[in-house]
């Protein structure tokens, strides 16, 4: 008897073979006034691209994600927040009809029903080739727990029999390396005839079209749901990963599989014929879970202004103990219309610097007195930080620029040359910090006049010991202002 492999090898040719990571830098807000949270990720967007947020709710729900100015390619949507239990979520990306999916991860130890699984793809009714209602796929779903991979096949009716007279049926969830356009080896979760010595239900590796090309890898567990015309089939992930070929391409740091569903008609004379298929897509087996939290308001620090004319911009450091991203992030000058500030990094487990575009007014002209940065992580509670520009130039109207700090040759492998500028005489301190916030060296700590000056750091700490290659920070403090710069030491 021929096996399912011949039909599956053709089917998986159309599975999306993109192998790069999607949905980077997931971050979220605190609870908004309607008890939802805003989810943001970096994902391709634009013409012929659709992004969806998926989340556990009444079954698995999904909402369209829209592009916003935030990170380099940010899309966002809201979902109900985690109130008393965790909220699990996932993502769907459709590009020119091709699918990338991160299913909503199942709770560890769960015994899922079909509504707990994430829709992989819908399938037209009536496109089955041989007139069998039970072989007519109308949808396929997928789910993942810590230990098992689940699939659900939905048909047009008739249950999921494995035989009818001398005709036999197969219901299959097929897996392949998503990086290959034409895989010669696939993995099959098969619910089919139980005929020991010929074929039995199970998890198989298929390397060709004959029975001898099937390698049994493990058991599958199946359960039928007649009320919804669904069959749930699952296997142990350990059985897949234990196979050397599967392990050779399965990237545990960003696991992805090509996934598709199909049905088969099997006859003694005709062998295996594919009856219906779902083209499927690339399924990314990561998880995203947001736990309930007691919100702590974020803080702002170091509202500073750098550059002049068309190069002038404002910056401020945002910190949030919960790791929440803000939904309001702006600065206004002298009570005028607020100007957006955008994050310069997207890891909210650490302070994030926000900055305006360069050359905005009134920074470009320099004519302003008071600036107020205003942020909120929940659209209800707002934090503000103000700065006053009091210097006046010889024309009597343009504020003198504040404390400034810059680094030449950054990254550097030897000594760092540091330039500073003081708007007025005052006490200046410049320190070198490591990434943990520990002061390694104080470069200057004295009164300095209204001047520009130059310092150097030779890559040594206060005791004279050479520090290792890595990221360091220089912070200048004077006249109630501060300026911070990142320095990369690459020896």
- Of 263, 257, 22, 278, the residue nearest 141 (C-alpha): 278
Contact in structure between 88 and 119 (CB atoms under 8 Å) = no
pLDDT > 90 in the chain, percent: 64
According to CATH, where is 2.60.40.1930 located in the chain?
404-489
Can you tell me the distance from the alpha carbon of 280 to that of 99, in angstroms, rounded to the nearest whole number? 7
Over range 97-105, report the average pLDDT.
Answer: 95
pLDDT exceeds 60 at position 15 = no
Query: Which two structure tokens, joined as six digits, stand for 45?
Result: 């967007």
pLDDT exceeds 70 at position 139 = yes
CATH superfamily of 404-489: Macroglobulin (MG2) domain (2.60.40.1930)
- What's this model's pTM, rounded to 2 decimal places? 0.75
Per-residue pLDDT reduced to its tens digit, 250-302 = 998 889 999 999 999 988 777 788 899 988 999 999 888 999 999 999 999 99
- pLDDT for 378 equals 97
- pLDDT for 211 equals 59
pLDDT exceeds 80 at position 402 = no
Per-residue pLDDT reduced to its tens digit, 205-253 = 988 766 568 899 999 999 999 999 999 999 999 999 999 999 999 998 8
CATH superfamily of 299-388: Immunoglobulins (2.60.40.10)
According to CATH, where is 2.60.40.10 located in the chain?
299-388
pLDDT exceeds 70 at position 198 = yes
Can you tell me the distance from the alpha carbon of 313 to that of 334, in angstroms, rounded to the nearest whole number? 16
The region of weakest confidence among 88-97, 123-132, 301-310 is 301-310
pLDDT exceeds 70 at position 167 = yes
Confidence band, pLDDT 50/70/90 cuts, at residue 18: very low
Mean pLDDT of the chain: 88
pLDDT exceeds 90 at position 341 = yes
CB atoms under 10 Å from CB of 302, counted, come to 17
Confidence band, pLDDT 50/70/90 cuts, at residue 401: low
pLDDT exceeds 90 at position 178 = yes
């Amino acid at each position: 008897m021929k096996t399912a492999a011949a039909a599956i090898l053709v089917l998986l040719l159309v599975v999306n073979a993109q192998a790069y990571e999607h949905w980077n830098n997931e971050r979220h807000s605190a609870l908004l006034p309607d008890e939802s949270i805003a989810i943001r990720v970096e994902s391709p967007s634009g013409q012929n691209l659709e992004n969806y947020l998926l989340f556990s709710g009444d079954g698995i729900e999904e909402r369209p994600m829209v592009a916003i100015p935030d990170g380099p390619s940010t899309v966002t949507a809201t979902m109900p927040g985690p109130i008393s239990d965790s909220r699990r979520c996932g993502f769907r990306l459709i590009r020119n009809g091709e699918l990338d999916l991160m299913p909503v991860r199942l709770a560890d130890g769960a015994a899922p029903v079909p509504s707990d699984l994430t829709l992989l793809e819908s399938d037209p009714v009536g496109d089955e080739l041989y007139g069998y209602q039970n072989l007519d796929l109308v949808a396929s779903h997928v789910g993942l727990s810590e230990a098992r991979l689940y699939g659900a096949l939905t048909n047009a009716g008739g249950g999921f029999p494995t035989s009818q007279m001398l005709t036999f049926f197969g219901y299959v969830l097929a897996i392949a390396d998503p990086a290959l356009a034409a895989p010669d080896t696939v993995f099959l979760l098969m619910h089919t005839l139980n005929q020991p010595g010929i074929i039995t239900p199970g998890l198989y590796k298929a390397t060709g079209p004959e029975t001898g090309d099937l390698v049994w890898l493990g058991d599958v567990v199946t359960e039928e749901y007649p009320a919804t015309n669904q069959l749930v089939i699952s296997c142990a992930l350990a059985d897949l990963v234990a196979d050397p070929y599967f392990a050779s391409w399965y990237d545990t740091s960003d696991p992805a599989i090509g996934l598709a569903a199909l049905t088969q008609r099997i006859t003694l004379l005709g062998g295996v014929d594919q009856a219906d298929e779902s083209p499927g897509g690339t399924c990314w087996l990561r998880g995203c879970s947001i736990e309930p939290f007691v919100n702590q308001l974020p803080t702002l620090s170091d509202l500073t202004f750098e550059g002049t004319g068309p190069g002038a911009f404002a910056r401020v450091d945002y910190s949030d103990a919960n790791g929440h991203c803000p939904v309001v992030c702006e600065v206004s000058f002298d009570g005028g219309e607020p100007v957006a500030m955008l994050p310069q990094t997207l890891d909210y487990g650490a302070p994030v610097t926000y900055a305006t575009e360069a050359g905005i007014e009134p920074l470009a002209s320099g004519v302003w007195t008071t600036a107020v940065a205003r942020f909120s992580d929940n659209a209800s509670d707002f934090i503000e930080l103000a700065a006053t520009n009091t210097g006046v130039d010889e024309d009597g109207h343009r504020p003198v620029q504040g404390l400034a700090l810059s680094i030449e040759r950054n990254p550097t492998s030897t000594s760092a040359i540091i330039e500073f500028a003081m708007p007025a005489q005052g006490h200046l301190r410049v320190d070198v910090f490591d990434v943990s916030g520990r002061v390694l060296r104080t470069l200057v700590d004295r009164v300095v006049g209204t001047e520009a000056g130059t310092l150097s750091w030779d890559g040594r700490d206060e005791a004279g010991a050479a520090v290792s290659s890595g990221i360091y920070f220089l912070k200048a403090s004077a006249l109630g202002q501060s300026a911070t710069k990142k320095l990369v030491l690459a020896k």
